[in-house]
Amino acid sequence: MNINNLPVEILEQIFQLLPVDDLKCASAVCFTWSQVAFSWPCMQNVQLKVAVSSFEDGVVPEVLETTGRRFRHVCLRVDRPIIDQPHRIELISEVLLKFGESLESLRFIWDVEDEMFDLNSMLTVLRYVPGLRELTVEDFIDRRDELAAVLPAITVDSLAGLERVKLPHSLMDNEQFNLAELAPNLLHLSAEFKGRYPWEAIWLLSGQLYSLSIRTETENNFQPLWQIDPSSLRRLRLSRLCCDLGDINDVKLDDARCFFFQCTAITVLKLELHVSLAVIRVIAENCSLLRELLVYDVDDGWQLLVILQRLERLTSLTVAEASFEGADSDIYQIRLPNLVELVLDAIYLEEPTKFFIVLDQIVPNLKFLQVSNYNRFDSDSYNLDILKSLFRAKLQSLDSLTLCDYTCAFPSHLLNYLNLLPKLQVLELAYCSLAPWSRSAIVPGIKKLIVDTPITNYQLRKLLNVFPLVSRIEVLQAEDISAYSLEELSRITSRCEFFIRESRSNE
């Protein structure tokens, strides 16, 4: 929520209406907003946002001195150098120490113009939060191709309570930084790195990690992954790992079999890289507890579904960059009865009509379906064929549908086709725009509508006519916020809940 310099009376009314446990953000430099916000119960889970530049006057902002609130979540944006600036370090320490043991999570953002991420600055800040449980580090400068300067005598103090971290490559690839030393009791790791150095810390921590998300550019040799102990992992996500896992010359199938044989506790697996069907078969044979799976760059989509029948607990599946071609009669025997969520991203369908009709048989209990990035050939006829085939399949159990392709406009003249989906209640449209439509369409079944593209007052009014029983609408904020008049907003909010989002749902 962004509220700037509104009268106190209006702010008081706003906070009276907010749910008690809502997670909101307050800025320490907007005094009126902050002073009112800090006194209300709905802000008990607030993430306090503080920038070093807000200390330029040499004092802690007044609102932080007067509030008695014990913040649990702080976002510190370092947009001015702090090393060799003792007055700034002192002011930062005042803010962090004020909240004492109540501080649970810190989001550290490096945003000093034209300066590389400074490890010493981060470690200095962490000394004031010894009880920290969660740390997120972001590098807004991201000078990816430059090497970090070697600093003299870096000391990494251990944070025994630190359980969850998310770190950028500029920190992970710094050989003076030791993650295992900083967080010896780490349970959840999300990291990006380019080289081989960070694997050593991951080896030391493996065996105790519950979740591991690796985004790396390690090339040609995938051996480091097979050497970790995955026995404790519940969630594993691998992305940007070249094509090693799918190349039989680089990875022996026995290595993959040994690794996934140890993944006895894993329930969520996301492989955002090329994976051979042989490896997927190994996963299906060994990871019996798997509930959620993402696979990428699959040559034979039908054979993939055949293999996944082994995963009896699978409830959510994402298939990206796959082809469904050359189907034979065996596809009618495939059954995934427990699957309720399916995402089809950038897939090719040789016969769209046949695919969606068969899909209704394969996944009889499907509740959520997302079809995205289907505009593969920039062909209007193919794109329309995909959507018409989906609607005409009349998926019997589907209650939530997301259609997404930012390379084209949504063909709004197909809105009436939504009535062919008997149980559909939630619709999300994520396109570069909505194509004009003149034909009157009415879709009474939709209760929640998400339009992930800026729309005009006129389009909003027309959508309300199309979906007369909608109880909640979410739209993307227009470049000109005045695109929605106060009169129009008043009329909409009298009919349903109305939300304007600042960014797309996938950002």
- Contact (Cβ atoms closer than 8 angstroms) between residue 53 and residue 76: no
Per-residue confidence (pLDDT) for residue 27, from 0 to 100: 46
User: What whole-number distance in Å separates Cα of residue 107 and Cα of residue 116?
Assistant: 18
| Rounded Cα distance, 250 and 410, in Å | 42
Give the pLDDT confidence score for residue 31 in this predicted structure. 44
Q: Which residues 6+ apart lie within 8 Å of 78 measured at CB? A: 52, 108, 109, 110, 111, 112, 121, 125
Which residues is 484 bridged to in the sheet? none
- Supply the pLDDT for residue 22: 44
Rg (CA), the chain: 26
Distance separating alpha carbons of residues 318 and 321, to the nearest angstrom: 10
Go through 427-453 and write b for each residue having 16 or more CB atoms within 10 A of its CB, e for each that does not. bbbbbeebeebeeebebebbbbbbbbb
Would you state the pLDDT for residue 485? 63
Tokens in use for 350? 């040789």
Cα–Cα distance for residue pair 29/63, rounded to 1 Å: 8
**Cβ–Cβ contacts within 10 Å for residue 20, how many?**
10
How far apart are the C-alpha atoms of 444 and 468, rounded to whole Å?
6
Q: Give the C-alpha separation, 183 to 157, whole Å.
A: 9
251 touches 244 (CB < 8 A): yes
**What DSSP string describes 414-434?**
GGGGGGGSTT--EEEEEEEEE
Q: How far apart are the first and last CA of the chain?
A: 17
363, 331 contact by CB (below 8 A): no
Number of H helices, E strands in the chain: 16, 20
Instruction: Report pLDDT for 255.
Output: 84
Distance of CA 64 to the CA centre of its chain: 31
pLDDT of residue 327: 79
Enumerate the β-bridge partners of residue 78. Answer: 110
Q: What is the pLDDT along the chain (507 residues), one digit of tens a residue?
A: 444 445 555 555 655 555 444 444 444 444 444 454 555 554 556 677 788 887 766 555 555 655 556 678 888 899 888 888 888 888 888 888 877 777 889 999 999 988 888 899 999 999 999 899 999 999 988 765 555 555 666 778 899 999 999 999 889 988 889 999 999 999 999 999 888 889 999 999 999 999 999 988 766 556 788 889 999 999 999 887 555 555 555 567 888 889 999 999 999 999 988 778 999 999 999 999 999 999 988 889 999 999 999 999 999 999 998 999 987 888 999 999 999 999 999 999 999 999 999 999 999 999 999 999 887 666 778 889 999 999 999 999 999 999 999 888 999 999 999 999 999 999 999 998 898 876 778 999 999 999 998 888 888 888 989 999 999 998 887 666 566 666 666 777 778 888 877 666 655
- How many Å apart are CA 323 and CA 298, to the nearest integer? 7
CB of 373 within 8 A of CB of 404?
A: yes
Q: Residue 36: what are its φ and ψ, rounded to 5°?
A: -75, -45
Helix spans in 4-152 (H): 8-17, 31-37, 62-66, 86-99, 119-126
Strand (E) or helix (H) holding 380:
helix 380-392
Residues in the chain: 507
**Which residues touch 237 (CB under 8 Å, ≥6 apart)?**
190, 212, 213, 214, 268, 269, 270, 272, 294
Taking a C-beta distance cutoff of 8 angstroms, is the pair 367, 338 a contact? no
CA gap 417, 413 in Å, rounded: 9
What whole-number distance in Å separates Cα of residue 469 and Cα of residue 160? 53
Q: pTM for this one?
A: 0.86
Instruction: Tally Cβ neighbours within 10 Å of residue 282.
Output: 20
Helices 352-362 and 380-392, axial angle in degrees (round to 10): 30
Q: Please tell me the distance from the alpha carbon of residue 484 to that of residue 166, in angstroms, as a whole number.
A: 38
The predicted pLDDT at position 399 comes to: 97
